[in-house]
Amino acid sequence: MSEAGTSAGRPRSEEAHQAILDATLELLAEVGFSALTVEGVAQRAGVGKATIYRRWAAKLPLVIEAFNQLPGLEEADTGNVVDDLKQMLQSYLQLFNSTPLATVLPSLAGERAHNTDLTALFDPVTKQRRQPLIRALERGVERGELPKDLDLDLAADLIVGPIAVRLFFTGRKVNPRIVGPIVDLALRGLANPRP
Amino acid sequence: MSEAGTSAGRPRSEEAHQAILDATLELLAEVGFSALTVEGVAQRAGVGKATIYRRWAAKLPLVIEAFNQLPGLEEADTGNVVDDLKQMLQSYLQLFNSTPLATVLPSLAGERAHNTDLTALFDPVTKQRRQPLIRALERGVERGELPKDLDLDLAADLIVGPIAVRLFFTGRKVNPRIVGPIVDLALRGLANPRP
DNA sequence: GGGATTACGATACTATACGTTCCGTTCTTA
DNA sequence: TAAGAACGGAACGTATAGTATCGTAATCCC
């Protein structure tokens, strides 16, 4: 295991490294996690299989690193909960429509159900991705836009859920147009402590 | 292709047929769609591979028939939208907690993203499963509990989404306790035309 | 009841595809 | 220029899907 700096000899190609990660993401989107093969990645990346095994011991750590290359949710802080949420969910959907995320995520989520190794990877990642949303809701509570006893996780699920369901069950692209109504509907329920 | 009735000779064993379907569901829950092998099903069911291939040409139609054996959502009609929805979602969760559905569904949904054959199967099934929910909402509209211009699909997603997200990403059994708050929150938003 | 017919479980077989390792070559450093 | 490490490609062993075949068991029809 020679890290850079110690060594004489030919250094590892950063170009190959990136090509492998890119190919992994592409194939992950095309065929899914379980049908992803190291051989396929090598061919797509134009490298030998040994070049992959020299860097990653197995498929899972490779997929982990590739998945973490996908951009995260950009936090919005406009001073208004509704605008924050709408803006963040718009970015969210643009992300899904412009990256392999829309196909990669369902595949990983589906695999998560029976692959405990993948579960260990995946759960922290999904929790991480919710954080900007949670923080926006917290700011709303602080500003008095939302009740103090709001269940933040439930609120986040109420907002993310409808979009996730459409992504998972009804094809690929989700129209960003639906973000407005979803946030309005959800917030109308969340903001009023009792009817 | 001899259907029953035409033939002399030993009839196909209905016991083996059912054992194959049961084994398919079990393995589907344990290892997922893509890792499901006909050989594995044969071993689990205690039948020869030929017995399976004699009935199903490939893995997909077998999975289809097995999946369709899982029970559907029981419709509730109490005369009140909120109660209808709460009752139906309770059944929904009990179904998930007592059948392999909680692991089978994410696996199929994940596979759906890159398997067009499975997509063709899966989309009508999911649409079908929403129908009782949609009808309950329609009754609510008719009774004046919900606005006439309600987007039924959006409303259904708003209610199912939060539960689905928890099932897909947290894996553990979902506490039926959350149904009440979810329906209350969602309906509070849906029922009031404008804040 | 007996013969014909079909399904049964089990096993052998072929082709394919995968993970992993090995090899001759290329690149970089000292 | 020599040494060392990574490179792409190819070779090797393993596993699995799918098919064919075996002897046996069950059912129908005469």
Burial A69-97, CB ≥16 within 10 A → b, else e: ebeebeebeeebbbebbbbbbbbbbebbe
**Yes or no, beta carbons of A185 and B190 under 8 Å apart:** yes
Q: Note the strand C nucleotides within 7 A of protein beta carbons.
A: 3-12, 17-23, 26-30
Residues 6+ apart with CB under 8 A from B38: B49, B52, B53, B59, B62
Across the interface, do B188 and A195 touch by the CB < 8 Å criterion? yes
Proximity of residue B50 CB to strand C below 7 A? yes
Q: Which CATH class is domain B81-191?
A: mainly alpha
SS3 content of chain A, % helix, strand, coil (to 5): 65, 0, 35
Rounded CA-CA distance A148/A90 in Å is 26
Name chain B contacts of A115, Cβ cutoff 8 Å: 32
Q: Please, what sign has the CA dihedral across residues B63, B64, B67, B69?
A: negative
Residues near A42 by Cβ (< 8 Å), separated by ≥ 6? A20, A48, A49, A51, A52
Indicate whether B5 pLDDT > 60. no
Minimal C-alpha gap between B105 and chain A (Å): 8
A161 sits within 7 Å of strand D by its CB: no
Q: Kindly give the confidence (pLDDT) of every residue in chain A, 195 residues in length, as a single tens digit, with 9 standing for 90 and above.
A: 333 345 577 888 999 999 999 999 999 999 999 999 999 999 999 999 999 999 998 888 899 899 988 888 899 999 999 999 999 999 889 888 888 888 899 999 988 888 888 888 888 888 888 999 999 999 999 999 999 999 999 999 999 999 999 988 887 678 889 899 999 999 988 887 654
Q: Is B27 exposed, middle or buried (CB count within 10 Å of its CB: 0-12, 13-18, 19+)?
A: buried
Distance to chain A for B5, nearest Cα, Å? 40
Overall fold of domain A14-67: Arc Repressor Mutant, subunit A (1.10.10)
End-to-end Cα distance, chain B: 63
Distance separating alpha carbons of residues B178 and B89, to the nearest angstrom:
10
Locate all alpha helices (DSSP H) within chain B, ordered by sequence: 14-31, 38-45, 49-53, 59-67, 81-98, 101-112, 116-142, 152-170, 179-191
Q: How far apart are the first and last CA of chain A?
A: 63
| Nearest CA-CA partner of A71 in A90, A44, A94, A41 | A94
Q: Chain A residues with CB inside 8 Å of B186's CB?
A: 158, 185-186, 189
Domain with CATH 1.10.357.10 in chain A: 81-191
Residues contacting A194, CB < 8 A, separation 6+:
none
Residue B46's Cα: distance from chain center in Å?
27
**ipTM confidence:** 0.85
Torsion sign, CA atoms A163, A165, A167, A173: negative
**B16/A contact by beta carbon, under 8 A:** no
Question: Between chains, do B114 and A103 touch, taking CB under 8 Å as contact?
Answer: yes
Q: How far apart are CA B183 and CA B195, in angstroms?
A: 18
What are the tens digits of pLDDT across the range A23-65? 999 999 999 999 999 999 999 999 999 999 999 988 888 998 9
List A residues 77-136 in contact with B (Cβ-Cβ < 8 A).
102-103, 106-115, 119, 122-123, 126
Residue (of A102, A30, B143, B159) closest to A41 by Cα position: A30
Query: Rounded CA gap, B178 and B65, in Å?
Result: 32
Q: Could you check: is the Cβ of residue B51 within 7 Å of any atom of nucleic acid strand C?
A: yes
What's the CA gap between B171 and A102, in Å, rounded? 20
Domain with CATH 1.10.10.60 in chain B: 14-67
Q: Please check whether residue A156 is in contact with residue B160, taking contact to mean a CB–CB distance below 8 angstroms.
A: no
Task: Give pLDDT tens digits for B13-61.
Answer: 899 999 999 999 999 999 989 889 999 999 999 999 999 999 998 888 8
A7 CB neighbours strand D below 7 A: yes
Mutate: best of B30, B146, B158, B170, partner A, most A CBs <10 A:
B158
A192 to chain B: closest CA residue: B188
